[in-house]
């Protein structure tokens, strides 16, 4: 995420403003309205810096932002190269990922060694005893570690991306930074506590409460927090709670506040360490808080700004996941290349059979795309010149979905050996490729830090934002007739020229000759950006305030936009690599293959906007949920609760 360089006082002043919702909430239930208000109050409402993807949704392919791939500084790359060698040597000599998976523990000696290497301080600025790494080098480390041990990668990433270091870096006071940063870099693991047992993606239902003490110097926290990654090992954690509501313009306004909490504070109980399908060595738990006394100085950012901080923190985590997915893809390529040569069926290697060749080509080109997206968003983050809230979500959505498809194809390519554990393979004398462990470890990526479904809704909301801002006064029932008429006139003026341009424009003549053979894909992106923009506008007009319920339509629009972003990143990266060594044409080949497949996906997705089975699927689902097809459940042994 782009660095927010505004000072904290300015942000706190902005947080006090009660901005009007751009949605008409008059037809919503009280619960729906409350959820909408909480979510909208936490959004970053201003666009102070350019966003490539935001423009894309408005039919504007900003070629200047992607024509030159932002190369990593030579000194920074050298620093990263040297560090990666140290990390690789340490992990190979000291950590057995299979033992971590079997015992559900990362040895303390390994964690201590990671602290000595500085891995827990990569995001801590140098002036506070950290390494102060760039986002590019941080993500390069994430790629390396994730390719070897998913549990260890999670430990390191959760500590820095969603734990205390990142929010502290974004909005912490100088006193907080001096107090906590050195600990976080040298000896203290951190955790993040947001989710609750009864709360999924709806923060309006959060029940954990922080109540001020009588002297106003402390808060008492009571409640429960579920799935706190790193919780069992943590010395410090970010805890999201409700604080007493405030009256703004005569109306009660919910307050969600973030606190830095010391793990050894009396009243904190780790009641359960969670076990999962994968990531055997992940440290994740349920915390119970009973009258946990926290000084008011430990509030992060400001009272009532906790959810906004949580969203920004998750943004940072979303930039790390593409790097981890890239590591998985590279591992899949390495396994498939070796196995595809060694395994012979019907007189030739399985990679020479068309079915096998298709898998190898798909995985290779998709991995290249993930690397391009990861490096591009990392470079943009380091430059701090762009608003990346949409790009970060797109990167998370695309790369996690891609990684799951890649590991699934690799499992199929390996056959029964893919399903067998690495320990078992080694025990009987074969190479211990850990495909089944990688599959189990990677499945969570489609869920954590915003599931694919939530990512699509988030992206749809941000894509619609320019339109909603323009039409906000028109759809707001509290707006005066005069304002509505004035807004309607402005809308007519804007859309009178904007909408026709989405049909008739220069994209039909664009060729991008400087991109060489990849120019055709840039032309495709520009043309489809216009179609995407007019499609968004069309469905907003058709469904109006009911569009939020059309999640399949919104999902398809977002998927198409995400594919276009991935194509742009991949072509830009390929051209950059080719220009460095014009004797090697492979980057262009990878990008061309990826874009060829992506174009087919985009076309199919946009076609399915008008040709789909959404209504029939919804009707069938309703009948199943109503119990009208309960007979389908006959013939099984049911061990769960009775209806």
Is 298 a member of any domain? yes
Mean pLDDT, residues 2-24 taken together = 44
pLDDT at residue number 31:
62
Same domain, 213 and 239: yes
Among the listed residues 563, 547, 559, the one whose alpha carbon sits nearest the alpha carbon of residue 608: 559
Same domain, 422 and 403: yes
15: pLDDT confidence band, cut at 50, 70 and 90?
A: very low
Length of the chain: 643
Among 448, 475, 503, identify where a domain stops: 448
pLDDT at residue number 313:
82
- Within 8 A by CB and 6+ apart from 366, the residues are 329, 402, 405, 406, 594
Structure-block tokens of residue 463: 């894509």
pLDDT at residue number 37:
61
Distance CA 588, CA 483 (A): 53
Among the listed residues 153, 229, 158, 159, the one whose alpha carbon sits nearest the alpha carbon of residue 189: 159
% of the chain with per-residue pLDDT over 90: 78
Same domain, 350 and 376: yes
Same domain, 360 and 272: no
Does residue 290 contact residue 222 with C-beta atoms inside 8 Å? yes
pLDDT per residue over 396-426, tens digit each? 999 999 999 999 999 999 999 999 999 999 9
9: pLDDT confidence band, cut at 50, 70 and 90?
A: very low
Whether the pLDDT of residue 173 is over 50: the answer is: yes
Is 154 a member of any domain? no
pLDDT at residue number 46:
76
14: pLDDT confidence band, cut at 50, 70 and 90?
A: very low
Whether the pLDDT of residue 277 is over 50: the answer is: yes
Same domain, 458 and 592: yes
pLDDT at residue number 284:
97
Is 631 a member of any domain? no
Same domain, 436 and 525: no
Structure-block tokens of residue 201: 């993606």
Same domain, 433 and 466: no
pLDDT at residue number 456:
94
pLDDT per residue over 543-597, tens digit each? 887 888 899 999 999 999 999 999 999 999 999 999 999 899 999 999 999 999 9
Among 415, 448, 481, identify where a domain stops: 448
pLDDT at residue number 28:
62
pLDDT at residue number 347:
76
Same domain, 459 and 376: no
Distance CA 17, CA 20 (A): 9
C-alpha dihedral sign at 136, 138, 141, 147: negative
Among 286, 308, 330, identify where a domain stops: 308
Bridging pattern class, strands 236-248 and 190-193? parallel
Does residue 364 contact residue 590 with C-beta atoms inside 8 Å? yes
Mean pLDDT, residues 81-104 taken together = 98
Is 63 a member of any domain? no
pLDDT at residue number 21:
55
Query: Quick one: CA torsion of 127, 128, 130, 136, rounded to 10 degrees?
Result: -60
Whether the pLDDT of residue 616 is over 50: the answer is: yes
H-state helical runs in 129-190 = 135-148, 150-157, 165-171, 174-186
pLDDT at residue number 27:
61
Q: Which long-range contacts (CB under 8 A, 24 or more apart) does 359-362 make?
A: 359/409, 359/410, 359/412, 359/413, 360/333, 360/336, 360/413, 361/593, 362/405, 362/406, 362/409, 362/597
3-state helix, strand, coil in the chain (%, to 5): 65, 10, 25
pTM: 0.93
Same domain, 431 and 465: no
Mean pLDDT, residues 164-173 taken together = 95
34: pLDDT confidence band, cut at 50, 70 and 90?
A: low
pLDDT per residue over 469-502, tens digit each? 888 777 777 788 888 888 899 899 999 999 999 9
CB crowding 461-475: b at 16 or more within 10 Å, else e: bbbbbbbeebbbbbb
Same domain, 478 and 546: yes
| More confidently predicted of 227 and 312 | 227
5: pLDDT confidence band, cut at 50, 70 and 90?
A: very low
Distance CA 117, CA 172 (A): 25
pLDDT at residue number 521:
98
Is 234 a member of any domain? yes
SS3 404: helix
pLDDT at residue number 470:
87
Is 574 a member of any domain? yes
Same domain, 496 and 438: no
What domain range is 595 assigned to? Answer: 453-613
Is 147 a member of any domain? no
Structure-block tokens of residue 475: 């759809």
Same domain, 461 and 607: yes
Is 35 a member of any domain? no
| More confidently predicted of 477 and 209 | 209
Distance CA 435, CA 417 (A): 8
Question: Which residues belong to the active site?
Answer: 449
Tally of structural domains, the chain: 3
Burial class (CB in 10 A: 0-12, 13-18, 19+), 65: buried
140: pLDDT confidence band, cut at 50, 70 and 90?
A: very high
Residue in this structure with the two tokens 């709806």, named with its chain if needed: 202
12: pLDDT confidence band, cut at 50, 70 and 90?
A: very low
Distance CA 139, CA 319 (A): 8
CA 379 to chain centroid: 17
| More confidently predicted of 18 and 329 | 329
Query: In CATH, what number is assigned to the domain containing residue 502?
Result: 1.20.140.10
pLDDT at residue number 16:
43
pLDDT per residue over 476-485, tens digit each? 777 888 888 8
Mean pLDDT, residues 79-86 taken together = 98
Query: In CATH, what number is assigned to the domain containing residue 232?
Result: 2.40.110.10
């Amino acid at each position: 995420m782009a660095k927010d360089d505004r000072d904290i006082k300015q942000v706190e002043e902005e947080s006090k403003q009660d901005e009007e919702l751009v949605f008409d909430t008059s037809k919503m239930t009280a619960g729906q309205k409350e959820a909408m208000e909480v979510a909208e109050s936490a959004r970053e409402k201003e666009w102070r810096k350019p966003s490539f993807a935001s423009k894309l949704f408005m039919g504007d392919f900003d070629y200047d932002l992607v024509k030159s791939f932002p190369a990593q500084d030579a000194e920074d790359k050298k620093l990263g190269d040297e560090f990666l060698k140290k990390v690789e040597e340490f992990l190979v000599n000291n950590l057995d990922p299979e033992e971590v998976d079997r015992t559900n523990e990362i040895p303390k000696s390994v964690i201590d060694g990671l602290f000595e290497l500085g891995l827990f301080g990569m995001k801590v600025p140098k002036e506070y005893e950290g390494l102060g790494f760039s986002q590019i080098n941080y993500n390069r480390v994430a790629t390396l570690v994730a390719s070897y041990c998913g549990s260890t990668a999670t430990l390191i990433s959760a500590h820095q991306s969603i734990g205390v270091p990142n929010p502290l870096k974004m909005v912490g006071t100088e006193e907080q930074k001096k107090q906590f940063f050195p600990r976080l870099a040298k000896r203290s693991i951190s955790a993040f506590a947001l989710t609750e047992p009864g709360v999924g993606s709806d923060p309006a239902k959060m029940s954990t409460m922080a109540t001020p003490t009588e002297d106003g110097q402390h808060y008492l926290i009571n409640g429960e927090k579920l799935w706190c990654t790193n919780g069992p090992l943590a010395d410090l954690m970010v805890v999201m709670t409700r604080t007493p509501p405030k009256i703004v313009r005569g109306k009660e306004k919910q307050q969600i506040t973030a606190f830095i909490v010391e793990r050894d504070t009396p009243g904190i109980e780790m009641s359960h360490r969670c076990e999962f399908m994968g990531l055997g060595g992940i440290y994740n738990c349920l915390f119970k808080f009973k009258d946990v006394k926290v000084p008011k100085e430990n509030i992060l950012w400001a009272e009532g700004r906790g959810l906004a901080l949580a969203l920004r923190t998750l943004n940072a985590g979303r930039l790390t996941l593409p790097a981890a997915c890239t590591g998985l893809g590279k591992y899949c390529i390495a396994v498939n290349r070796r196995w595809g040569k060694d395994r012979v069926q019907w007189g030739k290697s399985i990679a020479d059979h068309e079915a096998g060749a298709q898998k190898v080509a798909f995985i290779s080109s998709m991995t290249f795309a993930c690397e391009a997206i990861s490096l591009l968003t990392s470079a943009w983050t380091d430059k701090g010149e762009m608003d990346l809230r949409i790009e970060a979500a797109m990167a998370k959505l695309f790369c996690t979905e891609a990684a799951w498809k890649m590991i699934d194809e690799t499992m199929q390519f390996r056959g029964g050996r893919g399903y067998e554990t690495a320990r078992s393979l080694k025990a009987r004398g074969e190479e211990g490729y850990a495909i089944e462990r990688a599959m189990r470890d990677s499945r969570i990526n489609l869920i954590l830090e915003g599931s694919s479904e939530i990512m699509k809704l988030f992206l749809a909301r941000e894509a619609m934002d320019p339109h909603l801002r323009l039409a906000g006064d028109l759809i707001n029932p509290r707006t005066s007739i005069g304002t509505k008429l004035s807004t309607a006139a402005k809308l007519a003026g804007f859309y009178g020229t904007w909408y026709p341009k989405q049909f008739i424009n220069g994209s039909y003549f664009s060729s991008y000759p400087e991109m060489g053979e990849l120019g055709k894909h840039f032309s495709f992106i520009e043309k489809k950006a216009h179609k995407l923009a007019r499609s968004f506008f069309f469905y907003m007009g058709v469904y109006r305030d009911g569009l939020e319920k059309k999640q399949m339509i919104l999902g398809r629009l977002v998927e198409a936009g995400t594919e276009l972003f991935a194509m742009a990143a991949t072509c830009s990266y390929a051209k950059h690599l080719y220009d460095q060594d014009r004797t090697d044409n492979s980057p262009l080949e990878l990008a061309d293959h990826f874009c060829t497949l992506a174009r087919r996906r985009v076309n199919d997705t946009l076609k399915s906007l008008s040709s789909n089975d959404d209504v029939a699927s919804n009707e069938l689902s309703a009948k199943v949920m109503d119990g009208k097809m309960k007979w389908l459940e006959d013939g099984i042994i049911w061990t769960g609760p009775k209806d």
